[in-house]
A = this chain, B = another copy of it.
Amino acid sequence: MNRVVATALPDIPLVEPGSDLGELTLVGLEKAGIELQNQDILVFASKVFSKAEGRYFDLSEIRPSPAAREIAAACDKDPRLVELILAESNQVLRIRPGLIVVEHRLGFVCANAGIDHSNATSDEETVLLLPTDPDRSARRLLRTVAEATGADVAIIINDSHGRAWRQGTVGIAIGVAGMSPLTDRGGDPDIFGRTLQATLLGTADEIAAGASLLQGGADERSPIVHLRGVSYEPSSGKVSDLLRPLETDMFR
């Protein structure tokens, strides 16, 4: 029977700069009574990587540029925060009260460059940026897990993002290792034996969204989710495979 079991690893301690995520994961798996198998998946809330990598910035140390001040006035945000958003972005797409939609330096379109006060620290002047290179972070953790367990698994780093035309955030993949984030079913015959068209599935994003149900949004008490039973193609995929090429983008 086709079944997926997703388990939030229990009792994960608060992550701090320098925390060993590999060790936390292995201990969490043991507490959950899970022995990793090939084709399992581990999904991590991006915040634990941000924190382990020490991606904190102190707003009191930021000198906003004139451009940041101008945008800050237009959207009623802290100019120092806007300075950080600009530094983390390739391009500003839209500015609205409380919101700057950008192309992040990692290539995806998102709100406020993914920079967040929420749960960063107890200090209102400290903000947390996305991990420096989530694909690389995922690959590194994958090697650690593989060495410790011998299992060939996939790792996804997810983050909660808004959508152009829909309300509510959903988990999407911002880093991936050990799998192709897309599944191309274009060549498969459908149930009538015809070749399917237009069936590139955003598998890593669907996994990221599903795992997010157990991570509770901004809550970080369940940042690591183990999944078993998901069909995916093992490969050295990267998250940029999920980004729509500019030449097919109709909505910037």
Interface residues, chain A, with chain B CB atoms under 8 Å away: 1-8, 10, 14, 32, 94, 96, 101, 108-109, 117-119, 121-122, 160, 163-172, 181-183, 185, 188, 190-192, 194, 196-203, 205-207, 209-214, 216-222, 230-231, 241-244, 248-252
Give me 27 A-to-B residue pairs in the complex whose CB atoms sit less than 8 angstroms apart, sorted by A's number: A2-B10, A3-B5, A3-B6, A3-B7, A3-B214, A4-B5, A6-B210, A118-B194, A119-B190, A122-B194, A160-B201, A164-B164, A164-B244, A164-B250, A167-B244, A168-B181, A168-B182, A169-B200, A169-B202, A170-B205, A170-B206, A170-B209, A183-B217, A201-B212, A203-B213, A207-B213, A209-B210
Contacts of A191 on B, CB cut-off 8 Å? 14, 119, 219-221
> A109-B165, A122-B194, A164-B250 given. 15 additional CB < 8 A pairs?
A3-B5, A4-B6, A96-B248, A108-B165, A109-B164, A164-B251, A168-B182, A170-B202, A191-B219, A191-B220, A191-B221, A196-B217, A201-B212, A207-B213, A210-B213
How distant is the Cα of A94 from the Cα of B252 in the complex, in angstroms? 12
Within 8 Å by CB of A166, from B3, B211, B242, lies: B242
